[in-house]
Structures are given as C-alpha cells and as structure tokens.
Structure 1
C-alpha cells in the first residue's frame, strides 16, 4: 500500500508517464538504476517501474487504454480482455439494463466496459489495494467504487439502491421474509467474478463451490434473485450450473478464456448453451437449447477439423459437424473430418497429407521424405508431451507442417497435415 500511496501523487503519476514502456527485465533494471540515481525514493521507484512494466504487458488485453490505467500483477492476469468485456456490456444494454453492481470488480476491466457503454456502475472489491486501483481506472467515468466484500455490498443494496437513470423504480426492490432480496426491475443487474480462494488451480481441475470467494452457493442464490452475469473458469463443473441459466463459453483469438453464466433477463429465451468466438474485432456465436447430440463417425477424409475450444466446452460439436456436413473421427475425440474443404469460424481445418502409426521412427521417415524441418504438434486422446515427443523426431529441411497425434478406437495414429487459413 505504501508503493501505491507514493504512486498516486502528482509527482508519481507524472514520473510514470515520463518513464514510458518497459518490456524486458534488463529495461526494468536500467530504469530502477536511473530513477534511484535521480534521487527518487525506493517505494516510488518500485511503484513506477512496476506499473510501467505492467502497462506494457496490459496492451494485449486493453490496447491503448492500458497507458492510462494502473494494475496489480494478479489483477492483470485475472482481468477480462477489453474485447470480451465490451460484449458483456452489449448484452446488458440489449437486455434493457441501465445500472450494474460489479461485485468483485478487480482492477475494473469489466466495469470499464460497462461504464463506457453508458451504464451506471457500482464497483466493489474486497482487497484495499485492488479497489483503490479500480477507483483510479474508473475515475474518468465518475463511477462509484467501494472497498467491501461482495456479501456486504449486496446486503447494502436494499438500503442504498444501485445508481440508476430512473430512481422511480426503487419501490420495486423488496426484502423477503428470509432477508433475501426479491428479483427487481428498473434495469438493474449484478456482475460477479468469484475469485479462487487458493492458487495453483489449473483449468482442468474441478473445484468446489467453497473454493471461491464469495462462495458459489451464495453467488448462485443472488443470481436466482436478480439478473446476473457470472464469470467462471471455462473448465467449471457443468453439473454444478443452475438448470435455468444460459451458459456461454467464450473464446478469444484461439483461447477459451471464460464461462459466463447468465440469469434473469440476461439469459436469452430458448438458449441454454452458447459458444462465442471472438477474433480481433469480429465475433461469431453458436447457440442451442441443450447439449448437441454427436454426429456419426466416419473414416478420415481429405480434411481434419478441430472445433474451437468454446464449441467443445459448450458440447455443440455435433451441431457444427452437421452444419458443415462433417463427421466425427472417433466418438470420444473432438476431431471432425470431411472430404471437402471447409471455411468456418467454429473450426480450424487441416488438409491431410498422409497418415502413419504414431511412432517416432515411422513419423521421422515421413518427415524426412517431405523435407520437413519445422513441425507443429497437436494431440487429442493420447497421453504424450508434445515438447518431449518433438525431441524424438528427425527434423531436417526447409518445409513446415502440422503433426496431429490422436487415436481412432484403439489405433494410435499420426496425421501429417497443413493448416487451412482461417476465414
């Protein structure tokens, strides 16, 4: 907190702007030496150099906006990308929401998008430093930021209504006999990003409701009473989701970044599963009322197709296969195949060159014959480490290709292929 106090002064902020981008560890060391030699205090130097480095890293998520924001390392890692947050804001606006309480706002990534879309925002975070940084980031919009737990802030909403454009709806907010708020109108909504209580959880590990703060039991209870958007890890246990919610998996530039649970008016009629694919400034969406039935299995054709991770998480592979006249390569593997070239934002396609047993010697012979010295390795259904497997291959030549390691039934197969440019 002492570093933040040193930074949040006219001198500190001017020094931060003057330092400019800092990218490498060597640049960090040179900047520290230069600023200390100029007589600046250790706290100020540490804060300025740290923030300059984080601003450079933040460009990937926030673009040019990063140059006027402040960050914590953990806050930047957990923050929603601006392109994704903007689509959250669009959904709220489309549903008639005018005011949103962001309970667990972090550094304010989603709250910035909400405010930028013209919504009135109350941003809350339980960490003192993080809430102070969110207040700085949201200052241009005049949004209120509170240092409080999500539970305390939500409990106060019955006495201190959310900011709103039309305060005449305040009478719609009530309190049930059990002390819980009823569903309200007036264009109000809740946004939550429950934080993991413990570190080190991978996205493939299932976590319980008690692993989060606030707990998911509490969060889902709130979501049953007010229109809510709740950001979770994309590998969250599907069986633990409310039955009446819309579950939307989001992929940004090839990576599945989140699962959002939407309730109330934010959940679209007839939609319970959604895969949102964002590529640059364009987006594509696949929706369904339920998990899709898988497509029939067929033999490997001239092309292999890998569904986007959001499509796989949403279990909509069958719908994609039928829309593209493709089939499953194996009933348990998320690869599709067809004899025709396809262009779809929901799959990455590969033109098959040839197949061989998934053994280093057999693969190396094919690579050598084709003059391949650079290979991208992808795998599904096989317990191999691509980096370790690459070391077993003979790579000589100027050509490049993709090697896909998979299985069909009990057969372990290697497929040499070329990427088809995405649409």
Structure 2
C-alpha cells in the first residue's frame, strides 16, 4: 500500500462508505416493502416489482448477500481508514481514524440510508434490485456456504429453519389492515368489509324476526279473509299454517300467487298452494357466514329458525344477512333504529322495548349485555327474572334503566342513562 497515494486511499474510502450505504439502504428498503402491494404490482406486470418479489422469495439468501457485501466493505473501509490515519497523524492516527470512521459509517452508511429507505422503500428497493439480482448469482457459492453453516449451527441449538412461513393473514390482521386503510377507501366501504369479517360473530338469532312478529296466513280461515291478507301483505313471502304457527305447512311466494290470480279465472286455495314452496328450516345459533352459504347452496331466500326441539323461534331472510353487511335497505318493513330511539338533552335515550341490543351497542358505543337476549325487553326480563311495573328503575352494568311503559306483559318503552363508573369518576 506504500505506493498508493493518500488521496487515492481517501477516495477509495469514500467509495467504500457509499457502497456500504447502498447495501444498508437496500436491506431496509427490501424488508420494509408492503408485501401485498408488491404482489399486486407484480401481478399487474411491473418489472421492478417482479425483480424484487423474486429476491424476496428467499429472504435468507438476500440477507446473506447484503450482509456479506456490507461487512466486506466496512472491514475494507476500516483498514483503509487506519492506513490513512497513520500516514497523516502517525500512531495517534489509529485512534483518530477509528473515531472519525465510526462517525462516518454510522451517519452516512447506516442511519441516513436506512432512514431514507424506511420512508421510501419502493424508491430504494426497486432500483437496487437491478444490481442485487446479478450480484446474488455471482455470490451464490459464498451465500450458499454461509447459509449452510448458519443452518447447521441453528440445528445444533435446536432451532428448525425449514419451517415455511405463511404469508396468509388472520382475520384480526386483515381487520387491522382495513382499519389502517381509512384514508384509501370510503367509510362506507370500510364498514362493509368489517361487517363481512364479523359475520361469523353474529348468528341468526341476533337478526331474525321473532316468532310473535312473523306474518302468516291460516289456510283454515275464511277464503275472503285469506285473499284480503294476501293482497295487503307487504312481504314477498308469507308462512302458510293450519290454526297455529307450529303447524307451518309451506312458504307462499306472493308474487307467484298474484300471477296465478291474474291468469286463472277462478282463484282457489288449491291454486294458491301452487305458489307455495316447502319450508326451509334453520337451526338456532347458526353463524351468519354459514347461513349465507347455505341459502346460496340451497337456493333459498327465507327460512324459519327452530330450536333443538323443533319449535319455531323466528324467521330469517337473506336480505337480513345482507343488511348486516351493507346496512338497512329502504324496502325493509321493520322499524329502523332511528325510529326506535330518541336521544335526550340530558344524555339519556328513550328506547322502544323491541329495539335490538346489538344495534344499540354499535350505534352508541355501549356495552349492554347481548348474550342472553336480543331486545331491550328481553334484557330487562332476563335481569329481573320477572315482569316489572312501569316507573321501575333497574341498574344493568353502567346503565340506569327507567321502565316507562309496560303493556301486555311486555316492556314498551324505557329510558337508558349511561353512568360513568366509580373508577372513571375518580380519575376525572
């Protein structure tokens, strides 16, 4: 090295620091890329994305290549720095060169390039892949040797390196991604995606029309009464039964009944029954995601929910499930939550007894218990184990519930006032 000028050594040293910065930035840029965005770009024909994706298929090889290059350059830079320091300052130059070189490497070869790569991973990773690809091929023997030795050492300490790392996302991880995409999609689309992910947490009992609200026609009624019920029905399908809903016979397609009514000169019960289908039964507790698939597979749109004894508990339609995803349809005949609640100026809320607890919790961010009952009426009866009188107050969790109206053994209206817990009050 005596015949090499000091200026040449300094220029070489600067080049070594730049090369070290390249390897450091490339490593950080490659590893901080959004893999799903990268996969999407590669599928759309982006050549740079394809190069990077190919490199990342074997991250162990990529990391080994970067570390080999980075360490070789840093060690060479250290040796050159020591020589330059001794030429300029004698024996004291070793310490001086070590301090200066440490500062330069940390700032310009580590912190600065890695910070830039972390902020702009695509702008760093895509161009650097042009060089890393061929370099990996040239360095493959050394990379293979290094990886082989590393795997042997890992096996000696009981660490398995042959386990495949799954790139699949769990539902909770996917839910987090949807939350973080708030600036890239509308709130409505975000809510729809989250609703799809939450379908398995909701079952048919939570959305069904309760038994006492099911619209049906008793075929043993007077024929004029049957025709009147049919012509005034707001629903597309009606349960046909004999005397009692427990003796449900079939599900009448109202539109088909109208068609037969106009085609036939004489519209009779026998003609009407031609527009009826066999009843489709749904076991209670079926998750909505499962029931949606069953509706599609069986080509059904409505089913009667039954318990373990075969007793009818309610009615569920495919529209009810879709409403869980996209929100209420304007054609729904059931009262909306806005029609069942009236917020008050004092922070309390007037609520109809038939209001759905789960919808209230979602709308007001409450935590009313919804495990044992689906309506406010059911929740209070479950808590008291008795039918209360009007003007009774009950405490349920952090909520004061004033019962305002009770009719026909059912709670018609309540006032719910959220109360701050003692711990929160002390903290404030």
TM-score by length of 1: 0.26
Max radius of gyration: which structure? 2
TM-score by length of 2: 0.25
